[in-house]
Amino acid sequence: MFNFFTTNPLLKILPRVKGKYLCNVNMAKHTWFGVGGDAEIMYIPKSPEDLAHFMRERPRNVPVFLIGGGSNLLVRDGGIPGVVIKLDAPAFKEVKVLNDEITCGAGLRNIELKKHLIANRLGGLEFLCSIPGVIGGSVKTNAGCFGREVKDVIVAATIINGAGEIKKIGVKDLELGYRSSCFPDDWIIISITFKAFVSSKEEIEQTLEEHKRYRKANQPYNQKTAGSTFKNPQGLRAWELIKKSGCQDLQVGGAKVSEKHCNFLINDGNATAKDIETLGDMIVERVRQKTYITLEWEIKKVGVEK
């Protein structure tokens, strides 16, 4: 579907699709930080087949970027050129259960998984429900918390590759590591199958509640943040290095270090993406000078500076 009320010339060279093309979409409304410029074009595919068609027919000189729930993302103030894909249609949020395996569409929000776990009496995936974002993004980054990671529970994923082919990929081919994966950037995950185990409604709800209480007590809650900012260096904790380096009270414009957890950066409501990135880079430099350790961003930074 095209919006013919726009003069954006990029629309004229993109393939016709059954989903939606939206022009000049404010990315601040699609990220947890609530900052960033516009996506030149946002494409919301109607189905996996629609997305596969787009990937096959798209101009190869047009940049394409997939956005998940926007929870682990910093979009720069100049926005994102090209096409931003968001799996927001119902076809990417379906859930199917077969015995102790549950297959989730990549666009399903992690928090929505909990109702399916409770309804089907499936345990072992409660940790996923407390991670911000959507299922597909959790796999891409091998998200984890409470002593578990996605790689501990994933069986397989269905992907669309850069050539527009739909394929099922086993967990070994995903090469999941600490907050990372090694599959090509032009692969798009469309669904994931997880291994769970039979549990009771009461046990699942109790675990979910414990996780929620911990998050509220130890991490910023109901604030504009993108989760952990930096990866933990091997054998160390990023927040301890940040605190040891005297960074816990730093602030740049409307961006500041969380008082609850210094590995979380906060938008106080007036921050720009530049404020947040500058603050993060300042922390990296101070930690490096103090400890000789270079922190690595866990948050993905995309787009162009204004």
Could you confirm whether 228 is annotated as catalytic? yes
Beta-carbon contacts of residue 176 (< 8 Å; ≥ 6 apart): 139, 142, 149, 150, 151, 154
Residue carrying structure tokens 């994966």: 181
Could you confirm whether 298 is annotated as catalytic? yes
Interhelix angle for 113-120 vs 201-218, to 10°?
A: 150
Amino acid symbol at 85:
I
Could you confirm whether 121 is annotated as catalytic? no
Indicate which residue of 71, 138, 199, 228 is catalytic: 228
Cα dihedral 111, 196, 150, 49, rounded to 10, equals -70
Indicate which residue of 179, 215, 286, 288 is catalytic: 179
Q: Confirm if 110 and 134 have CB atoms less than 8 A apart.
A: yes
From residue 29, give the alpha-carbon distance in Å to each of 32, 93, 111, 155: 8, 20, 19, 33
Residue numbers annotated as active site = 179, 228, 298
